[in-house]
Structures are given as C-alpha cells and as structure tokens.
Structure 1
Amino acid sequence: MSAPVKIHVYDLSNGLACQLSLQLTGKQIDGVWHTSVVVFGKEIFYGQGICETEPGKSHHGSPLRIIDMGQTDIDQETFEEYLAQIKDQYTAEKYHLLDLNCNSFTNDCLGFLTGGSLPPYIKDLPSDFLSTPFGAALRPTIDAMFRGNAASGVLTPPPDIGAAAAASPNPALASSLLQAVATRAASNSPGAPSSSRNYLPTPAPTSPPTPAPNNTLTAPVHIATNPSSFNNVLRTHRAVVAFFTSATCGPCRMIEPVFEDLAMSKSRANGGVAFVKIDLSVGMGNAVAREHGVRVTPTFIFFLEGKKTHEMKGVNAPELRTQVDLLVYQAFPPHPHTTISLPVVEAISLNAILFSQVPNLDTVLAKVTGFIDGVSSWSGSTTKEGTKQILAKSIIPYLKSRGSSSPPMIPFEPWQGATISLAKNLSPGELFPVADIWRVALLEPAVCSWSATKFGRESSIVVLLSKAEGAPRNYTLVLLQMVSNAFSNKILARELLLSSRSSITAILIAALLHEDARVRTAAASLAFNMAAHLQRLRVEKVRGNSDGDDAGENEDWEVEMASGLLEAIEREKTNEEIVHRLTASLALLVRLSPFLEQLTPLLEVLQARRILKGKLERGGCGDAGVVKKEVRKLIEEVAEKLCPSP
C-alpha cells in the first residue's frame, strides 16, 4: 500500500537571507533552506545524526512551506532498514553546512522513496552562495566553524573574516548571521520539544571534544545510497567521478583520502564536477553498482555529460589524479588565450575609471532649486518644497561631509523619491545637476551598496537613464560619468549589467561617436569599466578561486560592443587618450571571452588588425599617429595577438 511523501521546508535565517543577501552577496537568496522528509507519520531529518519527530514538532518550528512529493510504494519497515543502513554516512561529526547537510540527506531519501529529488532552488543553494565573491571569501570561515566540533553541537567561533570584508559591505553582520544559521542547522537545539528524539542516537559528550591533530573537514563528496540519487547527480553535473567502495574493503580506506583531497580541490574550482561515494554495503548501493557493472572495490568510474568515459580498478593514486585531471580538462578546456603571452594586456589595471571632481555644491543646489521653482504644475511623491528640503538639508550636507569621520545620516528612501519626482517634472536639460549630485554620491561605497540593494525600475540610476534619449550634451556627459562611477562597486555593476545593459549600451554606442571630445572620453571610460568588470570575473573563473559569475555574459551584447568599439577607434583621429581607453576596452572584452567563435570572425570581417595598426601611422591619431610608448605597445599587442590576420 502506497504512502504519501512530503517535504517540510524551513528557513534557517528566519527571513534575514531574503532581506540581506543582495547586500551581502550580490545575489538574491530567498532563504537558507533546511528540509526534512515526512512519511509514515514521522518527520525525519539530518542534524545531530538522523533524527525523527512528529511532523511539524521539531526545534525548527512550523515549516515555511510543504512540498508534495507524491507516493512511495516502499513499506515502512523497508524504509527503516534503509535508514539504519545509511546511519554511518550521516553522522553528527560529518555534518557540514555546505558540503553534507540536511538537504543532502533529504535528497538521498527522496531517491529511495520516490525516485525524485529536491527542487533545484534548494539543492543548488550552496553552489549559488559560493559562486558569489562574498561566498567564496567566507568559505574558509564556514569550514573552520565545522572542523572537528560538529558532533558536540558547539561550533568554533568564526575566525577573522578580513578576506570577506573586501567582498561585502557589512562583514560583521554577515559573520553574526552565519554563526546563527550554522548553530541552528547543526544542532537539535536544547529547547527542542520532548517529542523530538534522535532516530539513531550518538552519545552526547559531557564537554566539547578536543579535535585530533589530523581531524580534517569532510570533503565535498556526494553520498549516493540508491540509483535515483546517483542518476540525479549525473543529470545535474557536467562531470562526475564515482567511487565504489565498501565497509570491509581495506584498499578502499587507503585510496579514500586521495579521493577526498581531489574532491576538495577539483569540485570547488569547477562547480560542474561532482565526486560521489557509493558504498555497496549501504542502502541500495549494490543496485547502483549492478547498474554500472561494478563487481569489485575500489572501482572508479568517470562520467562526462552523463556518459561513462573511463573505469579504473584498484589502488593507484597517481593514475586516479591523472584521470581526474583529464576529466576536468575534457569538461572545462582552458581558454585558448591563456596560452598566449599578453604582458601589456595583463598589466592593465582593472580599477574603474572614476570622475571624482566635486563641483561647487552650493551652485549645483541653486541650479536645481531654480529649475524646481520654474515648474508650474508639480507631480510626484514629494512636493516641490519637500524636494528642495531633502536636497538642502540632507543631500548637499552629506556630500559636503565626504571624508569626515562622522558624516551625517543620509535618508536614502526620501532621496530616491525626490529623484523620481525631479525626473518627472524636469526636462533632461534641467536634470543634469541632479545627475551630477548622484555622480558625486556614487563615489561613496555606502551609496553604491544601498543603490545595489534597492536596484529596480524605480531606482534613481534607472530613472535617470530613462531620460537619456534625445538629451542635450550636458546631460549625456554627466550621465555617462555617473554610470561610470557606479561601476566602482561590483554588486551594483552586476545589477546594472543584468537590468540596464541595453539602455546603457544604447547611450554608450552613440556617445562614442559624439562630436564633443569630453562626451567621447566619458563613453570610452564607461566602456572600459564594463569590460574591466567582466574581466575580473573571468580571471577569477580561470584561476579557480570561485565559480565566477556568468550573469554579465551576453553574446549579442559583446558582438555589439566589439563593433561599436572598433568603429569608434577608427573614427577617433585627434585624442590619443580616447584611443587608449577604447583599445584597452576591446582587449578586455576579447581576452577570455566565452564567445570567441562569434568574435573572431567578426574581428576579421571588420578588419580589426588594420584599424588598430592604422592608429600607429601618420594621421591615424594626430599628425604623427599615437605617440605614447605604452599606448603603442598595447595597440600592437592587441592587433597582433588578439585580432585575426585578414
């Protein structure tokens, strides 16, 4: 007789992840998900070992949502036997917030009960978090918290997270949030209801144990105890290394540390690689082995795109390392430009070009006030007088206090409302001092961070961008400078590329050909900042320091940008600095681009090499061509090494 199977979903952050994740990580994460299986009238979950309670009565309280996973034809006795068999895989000391957690257990049980798996938004949460710069920076902190003390339920206090500070505007808040989440995740909580009991108890220590010197963190190894669980890993990863072992296999214990070391290094550097351990004596491990023809242990099978590529039997650590390296190479071949020597391009600073000159703020305020007074019929969420008060009493004093030890608090929400009202009532020709105020403000990290967390259709930057079409020269110039300054913050830069790429590019491409040299300079600077942002992400991805972030990658946009940059370079006949910035932008766009199959023929058709070399000749840029040695070297390197010959 079949029985219903449900999943209880809890948010370990109690809503804080939804509120703070964008600010802390640059990605919207709606919850830190904890899950449990509800079947046969019991709620079963993994924390301090495998635990059981009445549905909805665990220390996590009421579930945030309940997911119906269908029916199981497995009877209760068989399921309990299965739990007893996998108890050694899910012990308290093996628990890790990212690598082996409650969701790993739930997903395994679902495979056994129904052949299904958890929704991707739950399963992929650790990789989503680690793909952010802040997540990658916090990885050592999380590892340290769980090293050795998980069984006690007492976590090591997080160490200094100075490395994460550069990746988050509020590392102290992130650290305290992480500690709270981790503690709640790893323990059954002293205040748990009396009906909650440990299904397969582990002895409670009388005091926190002292970690042994060789006590290392459990490697990021997936556990598969049934065919459905294993097949799900094959479906969701580009490359898979499967380790078939058994509890009585001595050689398996000899090679297992090598397997875990490889999992630690290779799976984190390449998010699409999974290392899976299948114990033939646990659960339905034998069924997984039969499905893939495994008869002896240890056996390693390598899969690419779900298909078997190689099988290796026995203990041979050098061969195992070689085969793993080969699989990773096949799954993620290195970018062809990594084999080219590009010393000049590699020496380009990836820091954003900023427009930091501060105008006379009293004069700017007087201009805006005069424009406001000239509007006969005012509309918007703030009144004329209210808008003037926000500017005069809050915004201008804040900007005047830049660099002081105790700047005044700035009312961000009223400021955004005032900007929207100003954009509704003033023409682009009258809005340029408002954009200039934002240009100066975006030099402040706090303003950039706030703007990133509140990014949307009604954010000030987007509203000001919407007024660009047909705008006069002064507004176009200041708008380009304002957006350039916004790219000094990588989280805000990401939001701009995700949400406003097309509108920014439309302004940028037109401005690159503007008759005014200052406008062209601002446009070339913005193009550089966009290309530098992508280059930083690509370099990190190549180095394996993080999974990178593909949110900024867009094939059509890169083709449009390359075309626009080349046209601008060809037409720039007077300003060497503009040629320098445009060439650097093109270099950063093309180097490590994932779209070389499209860009290479485009550069050939557009005669990129001829255009660039033309800048070095007489009349190409000024009477003598480009003069500065560093610019000439950059142009020569880009033309010869990144642009195909005709």
Structure 2
Amino acid sequence: MSTPVQLYIYDLSNGLAGQLSLMLTGRQIDGIWHTSIVVFGKEIFYGQGIMITQPGKSHHGSPLRIVDMGETAIDEDTFNEYLSAMREQYTADKYHPLEFNCNSFTNDCMGFLTGGSIPPYVTSLPSDFLSTSFGQALQPQIDALFTGRPPSGAPARITPSAATPDPALAASILQSVTAQATMGGPGPSNGILSMPPAPPVAPAPVPPAPSLPAPDASLVSPMHITTNPASFHNLLSSHRAVVAFFTSATCAPCRMIEPVFGELAKSKSKPDGGVGFAQIDLSVGLGGALAAEYQVHVTPTFLFFLDGSKTHELKGVNAPELRTQVDLLIYEAFPPHAHMSLSLSALEAIPLDPILFSQIPNLDTMFTKLAGFIDGVTAWNGAVTQAQVKQTLTRTVLPFLKASTATSPAQPPMASFDHWPTLTSSLIANLQLSELFPLVDIWRIALLNASFSAWNATKKVQEGPLNRFMDKALQAGDVPRNYLLTVLRMLANAFSNQVLAREVILFTRERVTKLLVDALLHDDVTVKNAAASLGFNIAAYLQKQRIDKVKARDDSQSAEENEEWETEIIVAILNAVERETNSEVTVHRLVACLGLLLRLSPYTAQVTSLLEALDAQRVLKGKLEKGGCREGGVGKKDVRRLILEVADKLCPDMAMAM
C-alpha cells in the first residue's frame, strides 16, 4: 500500500525577500525557503534537531506552497527507524542556514521515500544568495552566527559593512530569519515532538561596521550527509565531481580521518554543480544499500566520481593520499586553464629544452681574426690598451673557451669573469660593427658554460654587454648579416640558464622584441631560423613557468607576463609563418613557438580575438598546401600533425566565428 508524500514550502522572510532582495543584493530572490516533508499524517522538518508536528501546525504557520511529490511504498515503521538514525546526523548544533539546513534534511527524506528530490530553486538558494555582493559580505557573520554561537543559544549579532544598502535592515532580516528557522516553536501545545525549543530572539539594533573580513569559503562548502541511494544519485547528477566518504559509527579509523575530510569539504567544495562531498554512514537509513551498490565492504572507504562515473577508490586512513586524490579529481574536472582539457599530444611531445647553438669554430683562427681587427685600429680609445686587450684574450679568454669546450677539460673554468665586461666594452668602443661578430661569437660559446651563464645571471643584464650587443644590432642602417646572426644565436644560448633567461625577458624585453620581430622578417633563411629558435626559447621558458603555476593552482600574474608584448610576438610569428615558403625547419620552430604561447596564455580571450582577426587557422593550414612551404607543402608527418593541432584546437575558425 502506498502513501502520498507532500512538500510544504515556507518563506521565512514573510515576503520581505521578494520585496527587498533586489535592493539589498542586486538580484531578485523570491523567498528564503524553508521546507518540510508531510507523510503518514505528520509534518517533519529540521531546525532544533528533527521536529515532528501536525501538518501546518508548526511555528512557521501556513505553508506558502504545497507540492505533491508522489507516493512512497515504504511503511511508517521503516520511516520512523530511518528518522531515529537520522537524529544522530541532524542535530541542533549542526544547523547552518546556508550549508546544512532544513532543505538538506527534506531532500534526504524525499530521496529515501520516493527516490526524488525537492525543486532546484529551493536547493540552489544558498548559492544564489552567495553569488551577490551582499551575500558575500555577510558570509563571515553568518558563519560566526552558527559556529560561534553563545552558550545561551542566542544568535550572534551581525554587523554588515556600511557600504551595504541599509545594513541595519539587512542584518535584522537575516537575524530574524535565522531565529525563526532554528526555533523549535512555541512549545508542546503546538504538537511538536522534540527537544524544548529555544526562546525567540528579537533582532538587535545593528551599528554599521567599517569593513568586513574576506568571505569564508566554508559557506559554499556543504558536507552532504547522504542516507540513501536516491539522494546520492541526485548529488552525482548535480555535481561534476563528487568525493564520497563511507563510514560507520563503530569505526575508530573513520573518526581519525573524518576531520581531514571535513576540512577538504570546507576548502575544496564548489557550488553550482561543481565539487560535492558526501558522507555516508552504513548504519544510517539505506547507507548500507548504497555501500552495497558500489561494493564498499570496509570503512573508511573513499570513492571519487567524475561526471557520475567512479574514477578511483581509496581505503583506510591516509590523509596525504586523500588530499592528493581530491586535488587530482578537481584538476581533471576543472582544469585551471581552459586549454588543459584539450588533447594536444603533438604540442606536449615537444621538449621544452632551449634550442642552443653549440657548434665550436676553430678557436685559434677566430682569435687570430679578432687580433687582426684590433691591430687595424689606428686611434685606440679607453684606459685599456690594445696590447692589454690582446694579452687578456690570448692568456685568459682563449684558454677558458678551449677548456670549457674540450671533451676532457685541460683546466677548470675560471673562478672569476669580472674582467669580461671591461674587455668587451673596450672592443665595442674601438671596432667597426662588421668586425664585432668574433667577439659576439666568444660570448655565444661562453654562455654554454654553466659557470659563465650563472655569473651573468647575477649581473645587471640591462647595463651589460648583452644589451650593448643588441643596441648595435638595432642601430639604423644595414647591419652585417654575420653580426645579426651571431647576436641572435648568442641570445638563444642565454636561455641555457633559467635565471639568466628571466633577466633577459624582464630587463631587455623591448630590445629583444624589436630584434626578434625584425629578424623574423629578414630575407636570409639562416637569420630567420636563428630568430625562430630564439622565439621558441622564450615561449618554452614561459610555458615552463605557466605549467608550474597551473600545478600550484596559482592565479597570480608573474612579472615575465605582458599582454601587449605577447600579442606583438604572436603577430610577428604569424607574419613570419605566412612569409616562409622555403624552410620547413623554420616553419616547425615558429609553429611550436606559437603553440606554446597559446596553450596556457593568461590572455586567452584577448588572443582569441587577435587570432580571428589575423585568420590564423588559414595561415597555418596554408603551409600544408602546395607552395605553402616548398613545392609540395610541409612534408614531415610530425610537423604536419603539429600544424593541424595548433590550427584546429588553439586557433579559432574564421568561418565558424562569422
């Protein structure tokens, strides 16, 4: 024999929410909903514990709405046993208006009786309220009202910010609602069967406070006490990620791990269908049936669900592993960057090690040529003489380079490089631009030495030789190809040291960008290839930093990031890709550079608009067609796969956008 089940819905604000919510919160909230379940001739609700009264006879008065929820085949004795077990979970001290309230209890009962749930507009009220600036401002006070309640049981006073519209009225409404929600009613004459009610509390006058602390995340981190399969399935269907804790009253290890699970629920939950945490006691209600459904035989057991499907199971007390698995689940459900959910196997297969130019010329020949340039200077300027410069080069610099590039070093690297800037400045001041490329090549080779690059990282790069070399490369007029090429290769080698790379990006960004943009459009294919390599090194460096920030879930912007700079580089790369029709190697490095910049860019929205305007997908795919790169288009399979991946997954389709 089946029994009808009804849902009674009350507005605890008595219409004030509907009238004033728009003014106080900026959103229309029709009511502060309280619900109860009516079955077997009784009205059951949660406030000061589980309360039972005759239908419509509670202190809440007459319901605003009565909703028929179908029928239950469960008999009254079974339901009473269920309520008895639930009393251990739904106690007066656990009540919270936004986390664990009357609607939590009603929804649980509904799942037990009918397999259904109460209307979403009731259960979504907490997140609706908290999404408003007023709700966020009141979060700490609401939390203190219930977690820091005075011994008498009277609600604490709430002091919203003076910036809140009519703060005293807002606080009075909230305090009155809370008092009405938690009161047990006028007394036994009302037919309520439960503990003695707390006395009514009148709203106190509220002085405005100057400011409020930051919102407490606990208010949007409900712990779902689940007692039946239907309630749990509703939770799975309404949340992308769910962590379920199967426990029992007699399980000592469960009591050890429960605080950790509670802390995770408080700090990691996401409202509005995000991340939910459920606690299932096998001895309460149909908790045992739910455990049997998922073949849980021991406690504590933790199950992890993504989009309704179980992804992992953890048994026993292991707090570090529990935290790790929760983080992994959240990371998979809500990757910190939209592109993290994309399958980018070709891009991810690219090593992020910098492209270095490690070829070593005949050092004796190179130094002889440089010595000849020095001897050709007729009017030498500076405190360091020609003879001193040649002596330092021959006795100190040349042996260091030979030792550091030899297969078996003949001598250890120099302990000090402090004379290098003075030596370099003297040569830059006295030699012609066309005569400087051997000097730049010395620096290119030296930067491959870990000690030398580390030493440079401790100096002011913006005032040192690297910057001066770039200034010469950017001067007006024709810059000799050999000099420009060697400067680009030297800068690429500067990325052999991560600290030095950071200094180059931070303190010479403007010069590096100008040099890179100009070189990418150079007529010489070797220069373009060196520029593409430098661009790749910059993008790979940023990619490493961005991956580390994603793993740490760090949303702050690092000093190396700059939106204007990134968009300028992207424009230059796409222009260079479109113009490059001969070198597949250059195209490969340029597309890899573009992909790394786009993958975890903090400026995805802005860059997407730019890519649309530049018709980036068409430009990239054009390299695959005849004539796009050499006669038949890009031929290597791995390069073709990378181009298609970057074009289709990271660049918007103009046709689709229109």
TM-score (norm 1): 0.52
Q: Report what 1:324 is aligned to.
A: 267
1:437 aligns with 2:442: yes
Alpha-carbon distance between aligned partners in 1 of 2:158 and 2:412, rounded to the nearest angstrom: 65
1:539 aligns with 2:547: yes
Q: Report what 1:269 is aligned to.
A: none
1:376 to 361, 378, 381: 378
Alpha-carbon distance between aligned partners in 1 of 2:217 and 2:376, rounded to the nearest angstrom: 74
Alpha-carbon distance between aligned partners in 2 of 1:340 and 1:446, rounded to the nearest angstrom: 40
Equivalenced residues, count: 370
Indicate how the Cα distance of structure 1 residues 383 and 339 shifts in structure 2: closer, same or farther if over 3 A, else same. same
Alpha-carbon distance between aligned partners in 2 of 1:463 and 1:239, rounded to the nearest angstrom: 54
Q: Report what 1:613 is aligned to.
A: 621
Residues 432-459 of structure 1: CA distance to partner in whole angstroms, max 9, x if unpaired?
0000000000111111100010123331
Alpha-carbon distance between aligned partners in 1 of 2:559 and 2:624, rounded to the nearest angstrom: 36
Does the CA-based 8 Å contact 2:160-2:212 persist in structure 1?
no
Does the CA-based 8 Å contact 1:487-1:529 persist in structure 2?
yes
Alpha-carbon distance between aligned partners in 2 of 1:240 and 1:334, rounded to the nearest angstrom: 28
Q: Report what 1:627 is aligned to.
A: 635
Residues 83-128 of structure 1: CA distance to partner in whole angstroms, max 9, x if unpaired?
xxxxxxxxxxxxxxxxxxxxxxxxxxxxxxxxxxxxxxxxxxxxxx
1:521 aligns with 2:429: no
2:593 to 585, 596, 620: 585
Q: Report what 1:409 is aligned to.
A: 414
1:489 to 497, 502, 510: 497
How far 1:523 moved relative to its partner? Answer: 0.5
Alpha-carbon distance between aligned partners in 2 of 1:636 and 1:339, rounded to the nearest angstrom: 18
Does the CA-based 8 Å contact 2:621-2:647 persist in structure 1?
yes
Structure 1: runs of 5+ lacking an equivalent = 1-237, 253-277, 282-286, 297-302
Compute the RMSD of aligned alpha carbons: 3.9
After superposition, residues 336-375 of structure 1 pair within 5 angstroms as 336-375=338-377
Q: Report what 2:538 is aligned to.
A: 530
The aligned amino acid for 1:325 is: K
The aligned amino acid for 1:324 is: S
Alpha-carbon distance between aligned partners in 2 of 1:545 and 1:306, rounded to the nearest angstrom: 20
How far 1:306 moved relative to its partner? Answer: 3.4
Alpha-carbon distance between aligned partners in 2 of 1:310 and 1:540, rounded to the nearest angstrom: 27
After superposition, residues 224-235 of structure 1 pair within 5 angstroms as none
Indicate how the Cα distance of structure 1 residues 563 and 280 shifts in structure 2: closer, same or farther if over 3 A, else same. farther
Indicate how the Cα distance of structure 1 residues 424 and 642 shifts in structure 2: closer, same or farther if over 3 A, else same. same
Alpha-carbon distance between aligned partners in 2 of 1:538 and 1:304, rounded to the nearest angstrom: 33
Alpha-carbon distance between aligned partners in 1 of 2:373 and 2:441, rounded to the nearest angstrom: 15
Does the CA-based 8 Å contact 1:399-1:441 persist in structure 2?
yes
The aligned amino acid for 1:552 is: E
Helix, strand or coil at the partner of 2:596: helix
Does the CA-based 8 Å contact 2:140-2:213 persist in structure 1?
no
Alpha-carbon distance between aligned partners in 2 of 1:304 and 1:443, rounded to the nearest angstrom: 54
How far 1:579 moved relative to its partner? Answer: 0.4
Q: Report what 1:334 is aligned to.
A: 336
How far 1:485 moved relative to its partner? Answer: 0.4
After superposition, residues 137-176 of structure 1 pair within 5 angstroms as none
Residues 465-502 of structure 1: CA distance to partner in whole angstroms, max 9, x if unpaired?
11112421100000000000001111000000011011
Alpha-carbon distance between aligned partners in 2 of 1:590 and 1:478, rounded to the nearest angstrom: 28
Residues 330-376 of structure 1: CA distance to partner in whole angstroms, max 9, x if unpaired?
99972110111111111110000010000111111111111112222
Does the CA-based 8 Å contact 1:352-1:529 persist in structure 2?
yes
Indicate how the Cα distance of structure 1 residues 528 and 242 shifts in structure 2: closer, same or farther if over 3 A, else same. farther
Alpha-carbon distance between aligned partners in 2 of 1:398 and 1:288, rounded to the nearest angstrom: 75
Does the CA-based 8 Å contact 1:394-1:410 persist in structure 2?
no
The structure that has the greater radius of gyration is 2
Q: Report what 1:566 is aligned to.
A: 574
Indicate how the Cα distance of structure 1 residues 419 and 515 shifts in structure 2: closer, same or farther if over 3 A, else same. same
Does the CA-based 8 Å contact 1:344-1:633 persist in structure 2?
yes
Alpha-carbon distance between aligned partners in 2 of 1:468 and 1:322, rounded to the nearest angstrom: 58
Q: Report what 1:385 is aligned to.
A: 387
Does the CA-based 8 Å contact 1:350-1:533 persist in structure 2?
yes
Does the CA-based 8 Å contact 1:245-1:279 persist in structure 2?
no
Alpha-carbon distance between aligned partners in 2 of 1:452 and 1:557, rounded to the nearest angstrom: 22
2:458 to 453, 456, 466: 453
The aligned amino acid for 2:632 is: A
Does the CA-based 8 Å contact 1:280-1:289 persist in structure 2?
no
Helix, strand or coil at the partner of 1:378: coil
The answer to which of 556-565 and 398-407 deviates more is 398-407
Does the CA-based 8 Å contact 2:139-2:215 persist in structure 1?
no
Percent identical among aligned pairs is 46
How far 1:415 moved relative to its partner? Answer: 1.3
1:466 aligns with 2:471: yes
Does the CA-based 8 Å contact 1:537-1:549 persist in structure 2?
no
The answer to which of 413-422 and 400-409 deviates more is 400-409
Structure 2: runs of 5+ lacking an equivalent = 1-135, 162-170, 179-210, 224-257, 276-329
The aligned amino acid for 1:444 is: N
- Bigger relative contact order, structure 1 or 2, given CA contacts below 8 A and separation 6+? 1
Does the CA-based 8 Å contact 2:140-2:215 persist in structure 1?
no
Alpha-carbon distance between aligned partners in 1 of 2:338 and 2:579, rounded to the nearest angstrom: 30
